[in-house]
A and B are shown apart, each in its own frame.
Chain A
Amino acid sequence: MVDLSVNLNGFKLQNPIMTASGTYGYADEYDDFIDVSKLGAIVTKAISIEPKKGNSGERLFETYGGMINRIGLENLGIEEFISKKLPILKEKNINYVMNLAGSTVEDYIKAAEIAQSAGIKAIEVNVSCPNVKQGCLEFGTNPNSLGHLTSEIRKIYKGFLIIKLTPNVSDIESLAKSAEDNGADCISAINTLKGLGVKVEITPDKKIKKTFVQGGLSGRCIKPVALSMVKRIKAVVNIPIIGIGGIANIEDILEFLTVGADAIQIGTENFCHPDITIKLINELTKIIESLNLESLDELKRKLRDE
């Protein structure tokens, strides 16, 4: 029996396959396709203190090898999550991480307090949100503001604290380090890349019709960026790393494990193949068996040492 379990600094997963925020709902939404309780953990859609309606207009744009979204953090708000979704997660024994989003440090503090009192074991902090008090620059682009945010959350929240880094920076190392130094238990990387989808059509009456969708690029096309970021982060931190970005098959998982990921999240690929997570858990087991190894930990060592 192959042991796929992962112990991320105290937060235990039965296997390293998680699902990325925004692609998997809040709880058992994929239950028609797979037994969600078999996953390492799901990460909820980003949740804010108040419910959010998100952006109006077109929200999606398919690109070569990926897609751009500008959902605008539409979500049901933390209270409804706790009253309606948390009971489902508990009843169905689904391991989960609550993803948090906010516009001010106070928002995150308040959310962390609620998470703490609701007994939520793990949170992932989305730091790609604009900080409205600091000129709407994203929290995750400046090591000082990221460090401040992390330490403020850390003071309140005693559970497993994951900081999800944005790739839209030039110096990922200093951000990862800042998260670690200020109390993060784990880093997940990467969030979406900033991208612009443009469509130019010539109408039958010879007019130009333009469509623009500015948002976050995800999907297979971002994998090389994600691999590079994970490798660079691994070089500077000692806390575990969850790799995210364009993972769609077992080879991708091996690549992420090789460069330093301890677990991985599947995002955009869930849309196309809603059962991809379970397939990859099975394939990972087979790979480990084929190498005559007994555990994921042994596989990681082999991938990194040889």
Chain B
Amino acid sequence: MKKNHIGKIEYNKEIAKDTYKLVISSDVKEIKAGQFISIYCENKTLRRPFSVADFKDGDITVLYKLKGDGTHYIKNLNENDKIDFLAPLGNTFNFENVNSALLIGAGIGIAPMLFLKKELDKNGIKNHLISGFKDALEVVEGSNQVVIGGSVLDEIENAVEKIKPDIIYSCGPSIVLKLVSEFGIKNNIKTQIAMEKVMACGIGVCRGCIIELKNGKNASVCKDGPVFLGDAVQW
């Protein structure tokens, strides 16, 4: 059940260029790959949503890129500081009946991919994670294959040939997700993508983070998503 939690910061340091790792200890019972938390940032009207990069025994790991006021506020929080967040929010990646998976993370989109990779490993599902970064200083560890400067999309075909995935999972900028979805449709491979949008409530109420689906319906990224079937999204 989603709740308002007050956690304690265990770790909050830069792990790559402008990229921070935040670990919060909390009383949260369960979070699954794909889900997110939304953090209260003092003096901001809206909370900030972050994909979860790992979860174990109440410890929630989040990776964030320094961008605006919200992330600068979080950056300045210290170990042992209290942190107010809503969790767990959104739906999860599904890996039922998956035997082999290709994971593609672009930029900070690597965060949920790392969590998903861990869950796939735990379930004995063969997987391969490609992640792309603008430059070498931004690389976050944990991928099987790193692309620097270029496009992660250039590597899809080779990887597909090599590992023959039943499904491609991806998170990153909208343009990457669109191309991954189109690749999946063209090559008859299922895709699940985790989307990002500016959010207000985080629980599906305000209808601020809406995307359109091919069936003509609206879906909220925060509640119906953030994970969608790539072929269901109207780009």
Contacts and interface: CB of A to CB of B under 8 A. Distances in A.
Nearest to B84: A273
Interface in B66-111: 86
A23 B1 contact: no
The 10 A-B residue pairs whose C-beta atoms are closest, nearest first, are A60-B208, A25-B205, A271-B200, A271-B201, A74-B207, A60-B198, A32-B2, A219-B45, A59-B208, A67-B45
Contact of A54 (B47, B204, B207): B207
A226 B108 CA distance: 40
B210 A54 contact: yes
Nearest to B41: A272
Interface in B1-50: 1-4, 40, 44-47
A66 interface: yes
A65 interface: yes
Contacts of B53: none
Q: Is the interface of B mostly helix, strand, loop or mixed?
A: loop
A250 interface: no
A55 to B, nearest CB: 9
Interface residues of B, number: 25
Interface residues of A, number: 33
Contact of B200 (A60, A220, A275): A60
Given A58-B198, A271-B46, A272-B45, A69 B203 contact: no
A67 B4 contact: no
A249 interface: no
Contacts of B207: 45, 54, 59, 71, 74
Contacts, number: 80
Interface in A207-231: 219-220
Interface string B183-223: 00000000000000011111111111110100000100000
A53 B217 CA distance: 8
Interface of A: 22-25, 29-30, 32-33, 45, 53-54, 56, 58-63, 65-67, 69, 71, 74, 219-220, 268, 270-275
B148 to A, nearest CB: 16
Contact of B210 (A59, A65, A66): A59
A22 B208 CA distance: 10
Contacts of A67: 45-46, 200
Given A32-B1, A62-B45, A271-B46, A71 B203 contact: no
A63 B198 CA distance: 13
Given A60-B198, A71-B206, A220 B3 contact: no
B1 A272 contact: no
